[in-house]
Structure 1
Amino acid sequence: MLRFLRPVIARMTLPLGRALARIGISANVVTLVGTFGAVAAALGLLPLGELYIGAVVVTVFVLFDMLDGAVARASGRESRWGAFLDSTLDRLTDAAVLCGLAVWFYTGGEDRLLGGLALYCMATGFAVSYIKARAEGLGVNCDVGVAERSERLIIALTATGLAGLGVPYVLAGGLWLLALLNTVTVGQRLIETRARLTEPGGPAGAGDRQPAGGAGGQG
């Protein structure tokens, strides 16, 4: 849904990416700092009920993490390893946000239903990424769905931040919306992958390649 913004974001981040590259900071360092800062904030603040400040700090580190591509382009060091590392560590950030919310709901938030819903959102978010990666590992593209990673993270962080400001029902509404969008996206990607793998002239033998634990690039 936000795919059309990617070229705009790339142009906006390029000057700062060049500045970081000039002082010797690599794209992988940007990825690691952004990820571990976001994870630390999510797991350190959200379980304590610090929803607003937690959402703000996580957002800052997520935005910093977005600079890794700009740094790689500015330094001329774009690599498949860097893309793999970034995609893998993104899963940690996503999981940390929802895990932090789940812990809060099961403890101070005292809402086991929403705690379970946060865990469901985390599981289906992993499924969305896994289906795409597994499909690509079988030789087909599965870049479809109403909720990619950017949309999911925006919904979760916006709802969390507004809840921290005292807006009633917004976090529950955000999680229910996220659960719905994740479920729909999983269905869309399963249908798309099945269609591509079973269509005439599809990847030869794709349906037979089922290595144990064979995840694709995004995990």
Structure 2
Amino acid sequence: MLNVLARASVSRVVDPIGRTLVRAGLTPNGMTLIGTAGVVVASLVLFPLGMLLVGTFVVWGFAMLDLLDGAMARATGRPTAFGAVLDATGDRLADGALFGAIAWWCFVVDDNRTAAVAALLALVLAQIISYVKARAEASGLTAEGGLIERPERLIIALVGTGLHGFGIPHTVEIALWILVGLSTATFVQRVVAAHRSAREAGR
């Protein structure tokens, strides 16, 4: 949902950083692995311990590395098909760890089963939304866009955990149910887009 102007603005900021990191000897795939490992470890360690504020900032910092691996790939001038696969795989692992950890916090720390259900639904929907697009593209179809994509999911989830970490109650549950609603709409949008693409292709 982030518009082209916003993406272009972000690229203008991160592309110089990407070129600097490449000159320093780092690789896009290495940055993907660092970012994914950081999000997974921070999520699974900090959130279950109830450290929502610290966890929010640490996870957000590592998630931002996802912007840099693309900038680094552009800087090398030779982005690879395997790099794209690794990046997408890392995103799914990171999303699963984040929402799984939030679900654990809801169940065990906050004792809020309703919020935990929302976290699990958000986790499943995040994976399905990405799968619909990937499967459509593998079939030669398109299933782009929708109300929210991965950046928006991260923003909404981490705003909820961060605000709760600052002492504002109920923000995690509110953020999760907003995610469930928007993700459900996005899932439907992508299935409809794939169906329309198939019909236009005569398949």
TM-score range, shorter chain: over 0.9
Q: Kindly state the Cα deviation for residue 119 of structure 1 after the two structures are TM-superposed.
A: 0.5
Query: Residues 46-61 of structure 1 correspond to what in structure 2 (within 5 A)?
Result: 46-61=47-62
CA distance in 1, matches of 2:199, 2:84: 29
Q: Deviations over 1:189-219 (max 9, x none)?
A: 11111122123xx15xx4xxxxxxxxxxxxx
CA RMSD of aligned residues (A): 1.2
Distance in 2, Cα, partners of 1:3 & 1:92: 25
Q: Distance in 1 between matches of 2:85 and 2:196?
A: 26
Structure 2 counterpart SS, 1:47: coil
The structural deviation recorded for 1:70 is: 1.2
Give 1:137 shift: 1.1
Please name the residue that 1:140 is paired with: 141
Please name the residue that 1:126 is paired with: 127
- 1:98 lines up with 2:103 in the alignment: no
Q: Structure 1 regions of 5+ residues with no counterpart?
A: 207-219
Q: How does 1:64-79 map to 2 (within 5 A)?
A: 64-79=65-80
1:33/1:65 contact within 8 Å kept? no
CA shift, 1:133, in A, is 0.8
TM-score calculated relative to the size of structure 2: 0.95
Bigger CA radius of gyration: 1
Q: How far apart are 1:152 and its partner, in Å?
A: 0.8
Cα distance in 2 for partners of 1:11, 1:83 equals 21
User: Within 5 A, what are the aligned runs for 1:157-168?
Assistant: 157-168=158-169
Structure-2 residue corresponding to 1:180? 181
CA distance in 1 between partners of 2:3 and 2:69 (Å): 18
Q: Which amino acid aligns with 2:17?
A: L
More helix by share: 2
Aligned to 1:33: 34
User: Secondary structure at 2:47's aligned position in 1?
Assistant: helix
> Paired residue for 1:194?
195
Separation of aligned partners in 2, 1:164 and 1:87: 29
Deviations 1:96-126 (A, max 9, x none): 1110011111111111111111001000111
Matches within 5 A, 1:144-155: 144-155=145-156
Query: Does the 8 Å contact 1:27/1:72 carry over to 2?
Result: yes
Which residue is 2:87 aligned to? 86
Q: Name 1:19's counterpart in structure 2.
A: 20
Distance 1:18 1:33, change over 3 A: same
What is the aligned residue count? 202
DSSP-derived class of the 1:102 partner: helix
Q: SS of the residue aligned with 1:67?
A: helix
> Following TM superposition, by how much is the alpha carbon of 1:90 offset from its aligned partner in structure 2, in angstroms?
0.6
Paired with 1:3 and 1:143, the residues of 2 have a C-alpha distance of 13
**How far off is 1:76 after superposition?**
2.4
Match of 1:6 in 2: 7
Alignment check: 8 A CA contact 1:117 1:175 kept: yes
TM-score (norm 1): 0.89
Larger mean CA deviation between 112-121 and 189-198 belongs to: 189-198
CA distance in 2, matches of 1:48, 1:91: 23
Equivalent residue for 1:113?
Answer: 114
Identity %: 43
Partner amino acid, structure 2, of 1:88? T
